Copies of this chain bind each other. A is one copy, B any other.
């Protein structure tokens, strides 16, 4: 199998990730923070170290403000619903994933207004358009860092600067960028980051995090045991316990720990450069086939990780099916949980075939995909 569905989840992971998951399960598989014995303490130590690695990667001062979650969707729900109250206004973009759009639309029912800023057909958003949408009650701007459909890199530094100037919170959905692009919460004026553990951060599924770089009150959405202030029937008011109820995904976090070490050791610049080189080759090769339509930014430097394409009028699902069954190539067709993004690029009817590269893809994977697309398109 040639795996080019890395935007859904990276595969494979570094070997150290598998080993770390296994070690957590077999050697210290206790409940961290819920006991004082050696195994529970080792679990708690690994979790704390993983908070430190996350804080280091995104330049956050306090590791206790790294909140471990179920997945990026859980992180986004926590951030969006944690800070918004009835009467508030939130701004987002037409390139967002349903993990942003659906919570935002849900909050409409409870009196939270929203504006969805229209992006250009290549996925780019203008900071001026976001700024123009600001109202007196705007409390939060949420944008993706990189579109999961087109790979378009959003101008997060400019948006962060604008938000900071107006005292508006800025949350980024880093599902496609974390572990690949340089993200500096302090320098880039980012208040909140939601990340999955299982994409660019190379951890297992069932992991995610919310990083908090602001003093704003964030309501807890889930209450329960925290192993702290156990005599109280109220959720503790300090991080991370306030937002972390229930047993942690210890094997998952241990795997994420190894993924983060791999990234910090390799450097995001090197990972991005590898992936972007592959994308560049892929796009240039596909441009030779006049039946293929390529979506997203023209300039390779405006793009990260993915490229969606269509072959003339062939349905995206059919292309993906043939890639899988005839060529052993894994990609993702359809709407990618991003309905407005498909509308923005004009593919809401037939979807698109998304190719997503990862750190372990090789040039031969790309060339196999090019050959397959050429054959399917009858060139």
Chain A residues within CB distance 8 Å of chain B = 1, 3, 5, 8-9, 11-13, 17-18, 21-22, 25-26, 29-31, 34-40, 69-74, 76-77, 97-99, 101-103, 105-106, 196, 198, 204-208, 220-227, 230-235, 245-252, 317, 320-321, 323-324, 329-340, 342, 348
Kindly list chain B residues whose C-beta atoms are within 8 Å of the C-beta of A248: 205-206
Kindly list chain B residues whose C-beta atoms are within 8 Å of the C-beta of A250: 205-206
Kindly list chain B residues whose C-beta atoms are within 8 Å of the C-beta of A9: 29-31, 34, 247
Q: Which of B40, B101, B207, B246 is A72 in contact with, Cβ under 8 Å?
A: B246
Number of copies: 2
A360 CB to closest chain B CB, in angstroms?
12
29 A-B residue pairings within 8 Å (CB atoms): A8-B247, A9-B31, A12-B26, A21-B21, A21-B25, A34-B332, A36-B332, A37-B332, A40-B330, A70-B246, A73-B222, A73-B223, A73-B247, A77-B222, A97-B224, A99-B223, A102-B233, A102-B235, A103-B224, A105-B234, A205-B248, A206-B248, A206-B250, A207-B249, A224-B337, A230-B336, A233-B340, A251-B252, A252-B252
Nearest B residue to A18 by beta-carbon distance?
B25
Whether the Cβ atoms of B106 and A235 lie closer than 8 Å is: yes
How distant is the Cα of A72 from the Cα of B246 in the complex, in angstroms?
A: 7
The 9 tightest CB contacts between A and B, nearest first, are: A206-B249, A73-B246, A225-B337, A73-B224, A102-B223, A99-B224, A8-B31, A37-B330, A230-B335
With A225-B99, A230-B336, A230-B339 already in contact, the answer to whether A22 and B31 are too (CB < 8 A) is no
Q: Which of B12, B21, B196, B331 is A37 in contact with, Cβ under 8 Å?
A: B331
With A73-B246, A324-B38, A330-B40 already in contact, the answer to whether A98 and B29 are too (CB < 8 A) is no
Q: Which of B196, B223, B231 is A77 in contact with, Cβ under 8 Å?
A: B223
Kindly list chain B residues whose C-beta atoms are within 8 Å of the C-beta of A101: 233
A229 CB to closest chain B CB, in angstroms?
9
With A30-B5, A31-B9, A77-B224 already in contact, the answer to whether A25 and B204 are too (CB < 8 A) is yes
With A234-B105, A249-B252 already in contact, the answer to whether A30 and B99 are too (CB < 8 A) is no
A20 CB to closest chain B CB, in angstroms?
11
A363 CB to closest chain B CB, in angstroms?
21
Kindly list chain B residues whose C-beta atoms are within 8 Å of the C-beta of A3: 30, 39
Whether the Cβ atoms of A74 and B246 lie closer than 8 Å is: yes
Whether the Cβ atoms of A5 and B35 lie closer than 8 Å is: yes
Whether the Cβ atoms of A334 and B230 lie closer than 8 Å is: yes
With A98-B230, A245-B102, A249-B70 already in contact, the answer to whether A29 and B13 are too (CB < 8 A) is yes
Nearest B residue to A251 by beta-carbon distance?
B204
How distant is the Cα of A248 from the Cα of B40 in the complex, in angstroms?
A: 25
Whether the Cβ atoms of A225 and B25 lie closer than 8 Å is: no
A254 CB to closest chain B CB, in angstroms?
10
Q: Which of B31, B37, B98, B252 is A224 in contact with, Cβ under 8 Å?
A: B98
Whether the Cβ atoms of B224 and A333 lie closer than 8 Å is: no
